Chains A and B, each alone.
Chain A
Amino acid sequence: MNLLSFLTSVGFWPALAQQILLILLTVVLALAVGLPLGFASYKYHALTPPLIGLVNLLQTLPAFAVLGLFMALGLQNFTTSLLLAFLYTVLPVIFGTEKGLRRIGRPPIDAALGMGMTGWQVLYRVLLPLASPQILPGVRRAVITAVGTTTLATLHGGGLGVLILDGIYAGDAQRVLAGAVPACLLVLAANGGMALLHRRFVPAPLRRKEQREVFIKK
């Protein structure tokens, strides 16, 4: 049997499409919530400790166990998959944003305000570029986590996870591989893509000492 017709026969294409859709939605949602929350916790320092607490709490919970909780509650649809993936992706975005903004310090902000920039100009001409060396690794980490967690979260929502699970039940190694190999390739692709974005969005002088973060996680 040739590879393409095999993939079609196990329902690979819709699974892949749904997984990618889920990843994109997760990342967009994580950015939409994470960037403002990161900014808020930079602006109002009092917010940071509870957020750190939340980070620690949620990152301690194994994703698989949380999925189990959802299933026990009878929640098994696309939205819960999204919610689960979102829980684990929003935090690096919040954190990266907060850390990046916090590092900037007072002088450039005073200088920007003092020369007569509006709040938005300060944000997109000064704060975001200067914080980007920390924001982008946060986003990168979020994207990679999103790929991993959506694989898990799609166990019952459609997606590559279904292929893996079905394959395991059926003792069909080929089917497991049809889910597992693309899932791994997706992570690598996401990682590479984010590296390109990093180079595109972080201004050259701030890329000098790129901290290569090592992803040791669960």
Chain B
Amino acid sequence: MIQFEHVSKSVGSKTVLTDIDLVIPTGELVVLAGPSGCGKTTTLKMINRLIAPTKGRVLVDDRDVASRPVLALRQGMGYVTQHTGLFEHLTVRENLALPAQLAHWDAPAIERRLAQLAEQFSLPKGGFFDSYPYQLSAVEKQRVCIARAFVADPAVLLMDDPFAALEPGERSRMQDEFVTMQALSRKTVVFITSQIEEAIKIADRLCIMEKGHVLQYDKPEEILKNPRDGFVREFVGRNRIFTNPEEICARDIMLTRPATTHPEVPMLKGMEKMRLAKVDSLLVVDEDGYFLGIVRAEHVHRCDNKEEAIKSVMREARVTVRPDETVPQLLAKIRRYRVNNIPVVEENRLLGLITNSSIVTILSQQSINLEEVEGL
């Protein structure tokens, strides 16, 4: 168990952390999330004493880290720094062996351990262990880096935004693997990220920080259901889980990039756009983003001269909604006007589009009893 007791940190006149109180239970994956500069890295580095608190204390297994021998403390924790932090002058093998060497393992034991890790982290076979970091891809570097943190089999892992350098696809795959690995090994993990999606995906507990304060610390589901007002709500954004359809506004569930067109565009091109976007209508918007109307495929078909501009067949929208209208209001409008979708408009500008199916999809992902929602 890792505990922060009234920990504050200031550097010169600048306050980095203010009165942090945090309990990280053994075997849980705790994610510290927040924008850059919110103090999450400082918090992490206090656990392995790379940074000392100005006030308060940090306890690991009920003992103040400041009173423990620093080298032994650090050797008992795996650490992944920002931007990987592999040693460029050493081979993969040498990089991986270092933590075990520092703990005075003998060579055969290290070799056995590396083989085991190669398996566990699906590192390529062959000459991979003799290559240098510059010869590796971003994903391979990341794998080696995380493997290095596991080498001496520490009980605690500290990971400072380890997936930041990866592309979205690779990142998502690494997250999945890491979640599996964590489920199997049950280490105490403190993980830093600035992406709320990543945090939600991997966290057992989520700690949202901003400007050196812990704003909310709870299970991810709790935070998504009941985010505190202000920054947390904003940070959670569209990932929020709603318990009541009344809480959900058009803004929360609208498609933000519906298929649009300009009124002067010839119908032929409009048809082409519908075909490519797989839709049967386009929203007509002028160059300043003002919403003008809707053009439907059937209207274009009925027109003989398809060279003409779209504005000649455009219709005014039967109904629009404001971004703050709630789901019951949306459903009522859909029923009353018998439409499949409704443009979201504010001060004559188009913000997005609500479709019948998007409402159903969104509602089914929330913790809402669908049978109790009227008008679905």
Which residues of A are in contact with B by a Cβ distance under 8 Å? 105-108, 110-118, 121, 125-126, 129-130, 203-206, 208
Contact = CB atoms under 8 A, between A and B. Distances in A.
A208 B87 CA distance: 15
Given A108-B87, A121-B102, 11 more contacts: A105-B83, A106-B82, A110-B45, A110-B50, A114-B50, A114-B81, A116-B75, A126-B87, A130-B87, A205-B88, A206-B89
Contact of B71 (A106, A116, A203): A116
Nearest to B72: A116
A105 B86 CA distance: 12
B48 interface: yes
Contacts of A114: 48, 50, 74, 77, 79, 81, 158
27 contacts: A106-B81, A107-B81, A107-B84, A110-B50, A111-B81, A111-B85, A111-B87, A112-B87, A114-B48, A114-B74, A114-B81, A115-B74, A115-B98, A115-B102, A115-B148, A116-B71, A116-B72, A116-B73, A116-B75, A116-B103, A117-B71, A129-B89, A130-B89, A203-B89, A205-B88, A205-B89, A206-B88
Given A114-B50, A116-B75, A130-B87, A205 B133 contact: yes
B79 A110 contact: yes
B91 to A, nearest CB: 8
Contact of B85 (A108, A116, A203, A204): A108
A111 B81 CA distance: 6
B290 interface: no
Contacts of B98: 115, 125
A108 B88 contact: yes
Closest 8 CB pairs between A and B?
A107-B85, A114-B79, A116-B75, A111-B85, A203-B89, A116-B74, A205-B132, A107-B81
B99 interface: yes
Interface string B291-327: 0000000000000000000000000000000000000
A108 to B, nearest CB: 5
A115 B99 contact: yes
Interface in B334-360: none
B178 interface: no
B105 interface: no
A121 B88 CA distance: 16
Nearest to B41: A110
Contacts of A206: 88-89
A111 B160 CA distance: 11
Interface of B: 45, 48, 50, 70-75, 77, 79, 81-90, 98-99, 102-103, 132-134, 148, 152, 158
Contacts of B90: 203
Contacts of B77: 114
Contacts of B158: 114
Contacts of A204: 132
Contacts of A112: 87
Contacts of A129: 89
Contacts of B70: 116
A113 B50 contact: yes
B71 A118 contact: yes
B74 A107 contact: no
A203 B73 CA distance: 30
A203 B134 CA distance: 13
Nearest to A206: B89
A147 to B, nearest CB: 30
A124 B168 CA distance: 37
A197 B188 CA distance: 46
Nearest to B48: A114
Nearest to B45: A110
A113 B49 CA distance: 10
A111 B148 CA distance: 10
Contacts of B45: 110
Nearest to B73: A116
B81 A110 contact: yes
Interface centre among B45, B81, B132, B158 (most CB of A within 10 A): B81
A111 B79 contact: yes
A112 B98 CA distance: 9
B138 to A, nearest CB: 14
B74 A130 contact: no
Nearest to A114: B79
